Structure 1
Amino acid sequence: MYKILIVNKFFYKRGGDCTYTMNLARLLEQQNHEIAIFAMQYHENINSGWDTYYPSEVVFSGGSLKSKILATSRLMGFAGVKSSFLKILDDFKPDIVHLNNIHSYLSPIIAKLAHNRGIKVVWTLHDYKLICPAYSCLRDGKVCELCFLEPLSVLMKKCMKRSWTASIMAYIEAKRWNRNQIEPYVDSFICPSSFMANKMKQAGYNEKKLNVLCNFIEFDKSRNACNQKADIREQAYCYIGRLSKEKGLKQLLEVATSLQYKLYIAGEGPLKDILEKKYACEKIIFLGKLDNDEVSRLLRHVQFSVLPSIWYENSPLSIIESLCMGTPVLAANIGGIPELINDENGLLFKPNNLNDLGDKIIYLLKKRSFNNEMIQTSSADRFSSKNYYNRLIEIYNDNK
């Protein structure tokens, strides 16, 4: 059994990285490993028992000049993160440090600090921050790879939030924490898709350190899914996830307004108010943030879920959860998505192609039927926490 320090910049259900981090902690505890958590102080964090070790919150937008200076110092590896992390290393004495999203609000310096003490460092990648300063490989609504080998484009193209200030900070961070300042201190990178592993390799990372391991669903959730009886499904479809630009929601909603079928939108995000104001109507229903049980009920109520992303999706939990509920998925043919979808469990459409999206929504609602029970059973096994844990332990054991 290992003592494992799990690190993520937040510790509440903010997004996919946070959900994964919390699921990972539970999974490892269930297998009798000793777990500690390291994150940034934040008012929505769930109590982990290790909160006193967290460095103070930093603010990158809307704060005072002093807070912006503090935030800039943090992304460089200062402003309390170093001392806080060394303290938890001293007291917990982990065998393994398992990193997740740590840039900006924490810092990659923690990989170096752990490595220098002879601690194995494993890093699960949830986005493309190590090769794209703006995280998403997305610029002006289109995929972009200009910064893979040199990050100057993030500054020249003003990629980060269309802001000079944010883009300058992203450039500084990318230069400070380039591949030469990260890769030597990480033993293994976990890439949730082969697509991500190939992009990391394209950007110069050592393929021997890249391990492809698809995301998982919690054991209890997958088991309960297989035990549930099928519902009578409404002739409707749903989107579940973050309401943000890279998810392609504006494109989806433009199509949905021209169709007669009901679309349910579940989730929160920066576009929530804008989208609700423009698109909410009898056939487009915004449900807000749902808990796990509500998500399960929604997925079992509709014909299929849809993910219209325009960025290089990695291994979306929204797809995995849908499939484990026996609900097929219509998704953009981009990033790691095609690794999850086949003829038996869903359909792909051309990203950013509204005509193709609309045609396939109609096709799935009117002409195509799926074996929901088969989708559910095969997916619950494929994405099980048991399979994930067995492969993760192999990675942990490697060279230990």
Structure 2
Amino acid sequence: MRILLSNKFYYRRGGDCIYMLNLEQLLREHRHETAVFAMDYPENLDTPWKRYFPQNMSKLMALTRPFGSIEVKKKFNKLLDDFRPDVVHLNNIHTHLSPIIAELAHKRGIRVVWTLHDYKLLCPRYDCLRGDKTICELCFDGNKKPCLTNKCMKGSTLASWIGYREAVMWNRKRLESCTDAFVCPSLFMAEKMEQGGFDKRKLKVMCNFIDVGKCRKDDYSRDEYYCFIGRLSHEKGAETLIEAASQLPYKLKVIGGGPLNEELRMKSEGLGGNIEFLGFKQWDEIKDIAGRAKFSVIPSEWYENNPLSVIEAQCLGTPVLGARIGGIPELIDEGVSGMTFASRSADDLKNKIECMYNATFDYQQIAQKAMERYNAEVYYKEISNLYVGSEYCEESSKH
């Protein structure tokens, strides 16, 4: 088959980008022809398809790009003419590229599959959080005016107006009419999409995959510490974790950076040195640190979809202590591959860290089961069926 993959960025920026790059490699390994459509961004990987990429979005373009710019339409149509795909597989395309590309493909009779990495189709600011960082579902019923009222987009009236107009233009009915199947990486995501009025027959639950080979190891012994890997920000629960960890004697290694980096470092000073901030690390270092940790903590405070940080940790044999929010609980077999705690509760997190630290886990078995579950070949069978139109089998996985 000829498959055209699209995402706003084409480098390892976040989970959506990593997913698409992994999928591109997987499809090529199975002898499919692939092409890519993304924004021309400085950090992009080199590709022969970059000549079709629309230019990097400027501040001025933010007023037009979300609604389908002339440049995007012209270059995407040219790519469709030259590549002639059987399937267009979309990822994060809103704002920088816009769903206009779904309509252009659909009008030509090309099958359109869309993997959802966040809640943009339901929430104009994508994460279902209000300015005060509380969970919000006010826009789920189709009325997007709360986005304006609450200035949800960066606290800005102009940005919120653009987000509101974008959501009104690309409404549920219009998006459904040009998309054959929406891939939901978690059951939670599928349920929220259905709550927002989307046709459940078009929702296919498919947990993300990784290259499990990069997680293989011979030694499953553990050292005396636990770890956090991720962005140091409010929605990731970093503050709650530091609050809980500072009350315990156990060693915590923090991998990653973000807007709260300096603030949390200062808070942790004078706490006996039990919290160590390691900053950004490449995979080989992450593998070593996470692979020797007694467990990993995912303290998210937003509707986390299907975090790769959980999947990668388990494939290393590392159990996960995850917040009971979004799709995280679906990935954890309580007491076997980890535990869960009440999101936003430092007290419950503190108690569960103690439980995890003193619990006994079969690290090698965790790794074995995770590698079987998140294996790329398992995912390939499902996605290839979806590409040819077999997504309605068993009523969308009977979710």
When normalised by structure 1's length, the TM-score is 0.93
Whether contact under 8 Å (1:73, 1:79) holds in the other structure is: no
Alignment of 1:182-197 (within 5 A): 182-197=175-190
Q: 1:195 to 1:106 in 2, by over 3 A?
A: same
SS at match of 2:372: helix
Deviation at 1:280, TM superposition (A): 6.0
Mapped partners of 1:277, 1:22: distance in 2: 37
Relative distance call for 1:270 and 1:102 in structure 2 (3 A) is farther
Distance 1:270 1:15, change over 3 A: farther
Letter in 2 for 1:184: S
For structure 1, list consecutive stretches of 5 or more residues without a partner in the other structure. 60-66
Measure how far apart 1:244 and its partner are. 2.6
Q: Is the 8 A contact 2:6 2:90 kept in 1?
A: yes
SS at match of 1:138: coil
Give yes or no for the alignment of 1:203 onto 2:196. yes
- Which of 185, 199, 218 in structure 2 is aligned with 1:229? 218
1:279-290 matches, cutoff 5 A: 279=268, 282-290=273-281
Give SS of 2:48's match: coil
Deviations 1:295-348, CA, capped at 9 Å, x for gaps = 211111110001000111111100000000000000100111111111210000
Q: Do 1:280 and 1:286's aligned partners in 2 also have CA atoms closer than 8 Å? A: no
Instruction: Tell me whether 1:32 sits opposite 2:40 in the alignment.
Output: no
Q: How does 1:176-187 map to 2 (within 5 A)?
A: 176-187=169-180
- The 5 Å alignment of 1:1-400 reads 2-59=1-58, 67-68=59-60, 70-78=61-69, 80-139=71-130, 140-149=132-141, 150-222=143-215, 225=216, 228-279=217-268, 282-343=273-334, 344-365=336-357, 367-398=358-389
- Matched to 2:159, the amino acid is A
- Return the letter of the residue paired with 2:246: T
- Provide the secondary structure at the position in 2 that maps to 1:287: strand
Q: CA deviation at 1:162?
A: 2.2
> More deviation in 320-329 or 266-275?
266-275
Deviation, structure 1 residue 219: 4.3
Aligned-partner residue type, residue 374 of structure 2: F
Partner SS, residue 143 of structure 1: coil
TM-superposition CA deviations, 1:66-97 (whole Å, max 9, x none) = x33x2210011115211111111111111110
- Residue pair 1:219, 1:386 contacting (<8 A) in 2 also: no
Q: Distance in 2 between matches of 1:273 and 1:169?
A: 32
Q: Which amino acid aligns with 1:265?
A: V
Whether the 8 Å contact between 2:237 and 2:299 is mirrored in structure 1 is yes
Secondary structure of the 1:123 match is strand
Bigger mean CA offset, 269-278 vs 241-250:
269-278
**Greater CA drift, 124-133 or 49-58:** 49-58
| CA–CA distance in structure 1, aligned partners of residues 354 and 77 of structure 2 | 56
Following the alignment from structure 1 to structure 2, what is the Cα–Cα distance between the partners of residues 372 and 399? 36
Aligned residues: 386
Q: Judge which range, 309-318 or 73-82, deviates more.
A: 73-82
C-alpha distance in structure 1 between counterparts of 2:46 and 2:262, whole Å: 30
Q: Does the 8 Å contact 1:306/1:331 carry over to 2?
A: yes
SS at match of 2:183: strand
Provide the secondary structure at the position in 1 that maps to 2:304. Answer: coil
User: How far has the Cα of 1:268 moved from its partner?
Assistant: 3.3
AA partner of residue 239 (structure 1): F
Give the Cα–Cα distance (whole angstroms) in 1 for the partners of residues 48 and 229 of structure 2: 31
Secondary structure, aligned partner of 1:190: strand
Residue deviations 1:169-203 (CA, integer Å, cap 9, x gap): 11111111111221100000000011110110110
Measure the CA separation in 2 of the matches of 1:294 and 1:95: 40
Q: Over the residues paired in the alignment, what is the CA RMSD in angstroms?
A: 1.6
The gaps in structure 2 that reach 5 residues or longer are 392-399
Give the Cα separation in 2 of the matches to 1:26 and 1:310.
32
Partners of 1:179 and 1:36 lie apart in 2 by 27
SS where residue 97 of structure 1 aligns? strand
State the identity %.
Answer: 49
Instruction: Report how far residue 237 of structure 1 moved.
Output: 1.1
How many Å apart are 1:241 and its aligned residue?
Answer: 1.9
Q: Which residue of 2 aligns with 1:62?
A: none
1:173 partner amino acid = E
Q: Alignment partner of 1:234: what SS? A: coil
Contact 2:220 2:363 in 1 (8 A): no
Partner Cα separation in structure 1 for residue 355 and residue 199 of structure 2? 43
Please give the secondary structure, in 2, of the residue aligned with 1:9: coil
Give, in whole Å, the separation in 2 of the partners of 1:355 and 1:184: 46
Deviation at 1:231, TM superposition (A): 4.4
